[in-house]
Amino acid sequence: MASTVLTGIGTLVTNDPGLGDGRLGVIRDAAVVFDDGIVEWVGRSGAAPSGDYGHDLGGRAVLPGFVESHSHLVFAGERADEFGARMSGTLYAAGGIRTTIAATRAATDDELRANTRRLMNESLRAGSTTVECKTGYGQSVDSELRSSKIAAEFTDEVTLLAAHVPPPEFADRVDDYVRMVCDEMIDACAPYAKWIDVFCERGAFDRDQAHAVLTAGMAKGLVPRVHGNQLRTGPGVQLAVELGAASVDHVTYVTTADIDALAHSSTVATLLPGADFSTRNKYPDARALIDAGVTVALGADCNPGTSYTTSLPFCIAIAVRDMRMTPEEAVWSATAGGARALRRNDIGVLRPGAKADAIALDAPSYLHLAYRPGVPLIHQVWRAGAAVDSANR
């Protein structure tokens, strides 16, 4: 692959404090060299080495590509009516997922594949160069296997979320469903997945059921993640820490003990403000988590019921405005924080040796992501050093 030199960068976010100023490692009037899919060099524009191709960005900001560590993209149908009812006063309940289960089971492989591709491309247009993708709308052995295979066509970061909610046929036999997940679904789907997840919440799965699913997945080599503490306080955070989960996601209702446990663990708290926006739930107390030393990631949580957005810039703006995060914290959490939630150190950063995933903004600074909410600021996307054509983003 030919080398590419990006010059004229007004503000470069490296996420490496050793390369620039502050936690974001900011370099002004910067340049970056991509070669063979990785970052070869970063520094001031005046010192940039030559390359095969040059691109003057005219003072635009450059950041690592966003790392979307929580999404549900393999599904059919939509739930706009449910959203409208919530906006009219109906409280959110996890059971709405069953509507999507029915639509997903009825869809063809090609229909599911086309919808997943559409949402992956939409995520890329919004600057997400790495996207984790969960199953969880099939909830039978064959349907979860199909979802796992389709997700694996688009990303290496596939999460088996067979334990999303009990499907209708197991509504009164939740323990039987958990046994089927542990004894059959995990065996079938593990070759296509990297992660095992469970929705540990009233109306979904209790602590013992969640523990059984996660440990069964771990026995097959899958790494645990947890949907926890979204609708009320509960055991999700503590279970995630106990099992050494990579992340616990939502983290909206937490106790002091939950925050302390996270602060003394390697488990990332992945905050999903799009879901709280769409359900009129309260937002997580990001300030309390960060001040306690918890590692925080931001995700868009794209799904048809509670957060039908693929835009991490939108989530950054919410996090800054309503979750008391600084712009620096929000940008870090949507890039390096997402990488931590996926246990990756080759993405979410722009330093020599990292994967050459980057975005340029139609703005001079990353501050504009929160300063100009709702404005399509993504000017260019590079993935593995290659510019992504805007028609295919």
pLDDT in tens, 170-222: 999 999 999 999 999 999 999 999 999 999 999 899 999 999 999 999 999 99
Q: What is the DSSP letter of 303?
A: B
Of residues 361, 357, 353, 354, the one with CA closest to residue 378: 361
Look at residue 95 in the predicted model and tell me its pLDDT.
63
Q: How far apart are CA 256 and CA 266, in angstroms?
A: 17
Would you say 20 and 34 are in contact if contact means Cβ atoms under 8 Å apart? no
Q: How far apart are CA 285 and CA 252, in angstroms?
A: 7
Q: What are the tens digits of pLDDT across the range 30-49?
A: 999 999 999 999 999 999 99
Would you say 350 and 6 are in contact if contact means Cβ atoms under 8 Å apart? no
Question: 223 pairs with which residues across the strands?
Answer: 195
- Which residue type, as a one-letter code, is found at position 246? A
pTM higher than 0.95 for the full model?
Answer: yes
3-state helix, strand, coil in the chain (%, to 5): 40, 20, 40
Higher pLDDT, 264 or 389: 264
Q: What are the tens digits of pLDDT across the range 82-130?
A: 999 899 988 776 568 889 999 999 999 999 999 999 999 999 999 999 9
Distances in whole angstroms, Cα of residue 120 to Cα of each of 35, 72, 106, 113, 191: 25, 11, 22, 10, 22
Burial class of 47 by CB neighbour count within 10 A (0 to 12, 13 to 18, 19+): exposed
Two structure tokens written together for 152: 């694996």
Q: How far apart are CA 214 and CA 283, in angstroms?
A: 27
Would you say 128 and 67 are in contact if contact means Cβ atoms under 8 Å apart? yes
Two structure tokens written together for 94: 């996890």
Question: Which helix (DSSP H) or strand (DSSP E) does residue 31 occupy?
Answer: strand 27-35
CA 379, 347, 144 angle in degrees (round to 5)? 100
